[in-house]
Structure 1
């Protein structure tokens, strides 16, 4: 029953994100609204981490399974993708390297900042 309650909380936040998407005409996916709502609720203490921890851990563990339909969809549209596979591949490689580099630099900056705060 505990897992059902946790899943209900997560789905309720997702539903509220869907409703916000319907009311706010911005080009932002409903899932982003839901993520922002969940982050806000967790940071403010409206929802305690313990109230969603086990179910969210389970959902993260099975996340690779969620990509199977998208992969099948890509295979299904191979005819359209065949002509542009090299430009798409180059974009994927370049953006992956850029994201990894920026993430690394930001992480290093945060670690340095935390070390300075500890030493002071």
Structure 2
């Protein structure tokens, strides 16, 4: 029961950071989506250790576990724009494959770099 309450509070905290991003976008009339600004705010807080990871870790794990559900409305929405993709279906296949591969390679390199940095930090700290 406690884990559910903590997870809920952490998801609400993440939502509040999202709303801060929306607010920053509206106040400064930025062309960047508020959700991206909110992620950058969260990233900055985590990197600078002003915001401990444990404050949002449970909520993040919950959201990541249910991430595929968030893509269902987007997929249904894209289906309404079939006329845009008409005649270009074969072109989409290499684009999707290439973009997927790029994301996988970038993610792997980033994770390797972060793990290497963590191992090096542990070696120097001990």
TM-score class normalised by the smaller sequence = 0.7 to 0.9
Residue matched to 1:17: 21
Q: Which moved more, 1:41-50 or 1:109-118?
A: 109-118
Cα deviation, residue 32, structure 1: 1.2
TM-score where L is the length of structure 2? 0.72
Q: How many residues align?
A: 118
Q: Which moved more, 1:102-111 or 1:67-76?
A: 102-111
Cα deviation, residue 25, structure 1: 3.3
Give, in whole Å, the separation in 2 of the partners of 1:50 and 1:110: 18
Matched, 1:79 2:83: yes
Q: Which moved more, 1:37-46 or 1:60-69?
A: 37-46
Structure 1 counterpart SS, 2:40: helix
CA 10–78 in structure 1, closer or farther in 2 if over 3 Å, else same: same
Could you tell me which of 84, 94, 98 is aligned with 1:94?
Answer: 98
Q: What is the aligned-residue RMSD (CA, Å)? A: 2.9
> What stretches of structure 2 of length at least 5 have no aligned partner?
none
Instruction: Provide, for residues 11-59 of structure 1, a one-character-per-residue CA deviation record: whole Å limited to 9, x for no partner.
Output: 1110000011112333322111111111111222332211111111000
